[in-house]
């Protein structure tokens, strides 16, 4: 039994697009000392590559389209940070990532408040009882009323809110921030109010007269009144309530200028929960979850990414270690295939940089190079039959036929489609009749990513064309005869997913519903969880 996991903090950063999530990720790495220079977010064309955005299309468009993992150490704790896609078209990757974390930072744009994708991601966190820290970003720009933002979080997300760091002015009047929890003022390094953070001054309280000289008597009078209202009008911080997911500490700041980033990192280490027990399938008699201090090593794959290093054509499975002390060279059994897998070159990530992982404990995110042996949802364990739950496939909302421009590259395309399917970000289906490939995605932007990656990583030029199908349903049921009878009668509209499970390709939502009504012995599933 090991208790080394107690100093692990495994968390995701979630937000609506353009709220500043990737910038905050970089500045957290900078504050921890993990990197020395963060890439500035500039206009397209001269934008430096963000540390956690490594795909070519991410660098070109300035968006995150895939989850990046980063492991770093700070102040005695090991942090495993997962920077997730913000764009709704890549939400499936984010949903799976949230199965691998114990807490999350929700980034909100001070000018926009809670947006659609923010709310959706929060609901996923609520379903999984994931504690949320709220970071209200861009307070150095013109934005909404501070109390209006706090009340919106409280009302729309049904959370108690606890302001921890308060801005001294906003927009053009921004002068710095005040750490309410520790009575410190955070100021620009050189006194220029438009500059970046760099100076901290300890104070007795918000009424300390030194604030008048630092901020200005008129400005600090308004800020003092606001801070008094914030302290008295909202719920005091309670660690138990935070970890139970009913209270969120709130930090106002500017990720770009590094205000409040160090305070956020400090409190993640101090308050965020260590690795928690994980639910397993019903096949383990008498057990519903695995504790992180269990002796047997176990973990699950929440993401697979091909070609992170194009020079080596690699395929990496991202594994969340859930229990035991993993050591390089161990053999773990893959539950789905019942085969033992020797793990000789596991890695930790610093975005695209890697370090050989000699040991790992619960909470750690480990990359396992493999050639198709692991897929999203797979469980690895020293115990036979163990299966972690909660990593579903979602029915795609857009279906396209893959048309190869050069028929001579059919083999390369098949390899590429298999690799993309194993990553789980898109669904790939092979019809019972015919030799076509169909690709299914949640959002249209994913189609652009697939076409770009086929060319860049596999040298295959293909067109994703409209095929007449609108939706997909997995076929299941208690009686296998009923399922097989349906498949036989509807072969022209049946395909198989990457694991060989049958799916029904429907030309409309209505057609899918009609087929379900006419075949009561068959289940038409919008989600499928592999067991």
Which tens digits make up the pLDDT trace of 78-104? 999 987 764 455 566 777 888 899 999
pTM flag (> 0.85): no
**How open is the CA angle 126-127-131, to the nearest 5 degrees?**
35
Mean pLDDT of all residues in 375-390:
90
For the chain, percent of residues with pLDDT exceeding 90: 54
Mean pLDDT of all residues in 18-32:
89
In angstroms, rounded to a whole number, what is the distance separating the alpha carbons of residues 184 and 410? Answer: 63
DSSP annotation of 493: G
Residue 233's alpha-carbon distances to 147, 150, 160, 197, 228, in angstroms, are 10, 11, 11, 28, 8
pLDDT over threshold 70, residue 67:
no
Instruction: Provide φ and ψ at 266, rounded to 5°.
Output: -55, -45
In angstroms, rounded to a whole number, what is the distance separating the alpha carbons of residues 426 and 439? Answer: 7
In angstroms, rounded to a whole number, what is the distance separating the alpha carbons of residues 132 and 36? Answer: 28
DSSP annotation of 55: S
| Region of poorest pLDDT, from 181-185, 361-365, 527-531 | 527-531
For the chain, where do the domains classified as CATH 3.30.70.3280 start and end? Answer: 392-529
Q: At 397, is the pLDDT very low, low, confident or very high (cuts 50, 70, 90)?
A: confident
Residue 436's alpha-carbon distances to 219, 341, 425, 429, 488, in angstroms, are 67, 32, 20, 9, 19
Nearest Cα neighbor of 370 from 344, 351, 396 is 344
In angstroms, rounded to a whole number, what is the distance separating the alpha carbons of residues 4 and 1? Answer: 9
* pLDDT tens-digit series, residues 139-158: 999 999 999 999 999 999 99
* pLDDT tens-digit series, residues 212-270: 988 888 889 999 999 999 999 999 999 999 999 999 999 999 999 999 999 999 999 99
Residue 451 makes CB contacts below 8 A (sequence gap 6+) with 462, 463, 464
Strands annotated E in 234-330: 247-252, 278-279, 289-290, 298-306, 315-323, 325-327
In angstroms, rounded to a whole number, what is the distance separating the alpha carbons of residues 120 and 205? Answer: 38
In angstroms, rounded to a whole number, what is the distance separating the alpha carbons of residues 42 and 58? Answer: 14
- Mean pLDDT, rounded, of the chain: 86
For the chain, where do the domains classified as CATH 3.40.50.300 start and end? Answer: 14-63+105-271, 278-381
Widest CA span in the chain: 82
Residue 263: strand pairing partners:
none
pLDDT over threshold 50, residue 43:
no
> Would you state the pLDDT for residue 45?
37
DSSP annotation of 280: B
The answer to whether the beta carbons of residues 104 and 80 sit under 8 Å apart is: no
Other beta carbons less than 10 A from residue 418's beta carbon: 15
| Region of poorest pLDDT, from 318-322, 391-395, 460-464 | 391-395
- So what's the architecture of 392-529 in CATH? 2-Layer Sandwich (3.30)
Q: At 123, is the pLDDT very low, low, confident or very high (cuts 50, 70, 90)?
A: confident
Residue 399's alpha-carbon distances to 92, 127, 523, in angstroms, are 16, 28, 21
In angstroms, rounded to a whole number, what is the distance separating the alpha carbons of residues 471 and 520? Answer: 19
In angstroms, rounded to a whole number, what is the distance separating the alpha carbons of residues 188 and 89? Answer: 37
In angstroms, rounded to a whole number, what is the distance separating the alpha carbons of residues 233 and 162? Answer: 9
| Residue 460 or 45, more confident | 460
Nearest Cα neighbor of 147 from 248, 220, 233 is 233
The answer to whether the beta carbons of residues 253 and 109 sit under 8 Å apart is: no
Q: Topology of domain 14-63+105-271, per CATH?
A: Rossmann fold (3.40.50)
Domain 278-381 falls under CATH 3.40.50.300? yes
Mean pLDDT of all residues in 375-379:
88
Nearest Cα neighbor of 328 from 342, 340, 344 is 344
Q: Which helix (H) or strand (E) holds 165?
A: strand 160-168
Nearest Cα neighbor of 321 from 353, 361, 381, 367 is 361
> Would you state the pLDDT for residue 282?
67
pLDDT over threshold 80, residue 451:
yes
């Amino acid at each position: 039994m090991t208790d080394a996991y107690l100093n692990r903090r495994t968390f995701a950063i979630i937000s609506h697009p353009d709220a500043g999530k990737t910038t905050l990720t970089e500045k957290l790495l900078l504050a921890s000392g993990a990197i020395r220079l963060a890439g500035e977010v500039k206009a397209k064309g001269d934008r430096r590559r963000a540390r956690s955005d490594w795909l070519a299309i991410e660098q070109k468009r300035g968006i995150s389209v895939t989850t990046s993992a980063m492991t770093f150490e700070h102040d005695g704790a090991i942090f495993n940070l997962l920077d997730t896609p913000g764009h709704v078209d890549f939400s499936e990757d984010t949903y799976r990532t949230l199965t691998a974390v114990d807490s999350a930072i929700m980034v909100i744009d001070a000018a926009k408040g809670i947006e659609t994708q923010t709310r959706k991601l929060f609901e996923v966190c609520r379903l999984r009882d994931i504690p949320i820290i709220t970071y209200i970003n861009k307070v150095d720009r013109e934005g909404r009323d501070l109390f209006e933002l706090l009340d919106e979080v409280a009302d729309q997300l049904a959370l108690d809110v606890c302001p921890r760091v308060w801005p001294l002015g906003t927009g053009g009047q921004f002068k710095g921030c005040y750490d309410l929890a520790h009575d410190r003022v955070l100021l620009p390094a050189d006194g220029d109010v438009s500059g970046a953070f760099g100076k901290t001054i300890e104070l007795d309280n918000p009424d300390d007269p030194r604030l008048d000289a630092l901020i200005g008597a008129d400005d600090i009078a308004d800020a003092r009144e606001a801070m008094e209202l914030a302290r008295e009008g909202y719920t005091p911080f309670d660690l138990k309530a935070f970890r139970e997911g009913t209270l969120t500490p709130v930090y106002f700041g500017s990720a770009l200028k590094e205000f409040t980033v160090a305070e956020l990192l400090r409190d993640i280490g101090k308050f965020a929960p260590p690795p928690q027990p994980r639910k397993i399938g019903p096949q383990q008699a008498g057990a519903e979850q695995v504790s992180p201090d269990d002796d047997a090593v176990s973990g699950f794959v929440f993401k697979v990414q091909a070609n992170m290093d194009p020079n080596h054509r690699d395929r990496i499975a991202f594994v969340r270690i859930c229990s035991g002390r993993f050591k390089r060279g161990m053999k773990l059994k893959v539950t789905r295939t019942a085969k033992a897998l020797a793990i000789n070159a596991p890695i930790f990530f610093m975005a695209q940089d890697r370090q050989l992982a000699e040991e790992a404990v619960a909470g750690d995110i480990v990359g396992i190079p493999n050639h198709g042996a692991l897929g999203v949802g797979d469980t690895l364990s020293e115990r036979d039959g163990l299966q972690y739950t909660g990593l579903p496939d979602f029915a795609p909302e857009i279906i396209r036929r893959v048309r190869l421009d050069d028929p001579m590259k059919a083999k390369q395309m098949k390899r590429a489609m298999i690799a993309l399917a194993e990553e789980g970000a898109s669904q790939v289906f092979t019809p019972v009749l015919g030799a076509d490939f169909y690709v299914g995605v949640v959002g249209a932007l994913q189609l652009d990513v697939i076409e770009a990656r086929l060319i860049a990583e596999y040298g295959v030029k293909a067109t994703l064309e409209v095929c007449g199908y609108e939706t997909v349903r997995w076929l299941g049921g208690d009686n296998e005869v009923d399922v097989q009878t349906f498949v036989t009668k509807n072969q022209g509209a049946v395909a198989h997913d990457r694991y060989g499970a049958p799916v029904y390709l429907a030309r409309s939502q209505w057609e899918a519903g009609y087929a379900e009504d006419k075949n009561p012995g068959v289940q038409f599933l919008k989600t499928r969880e592999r067991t």
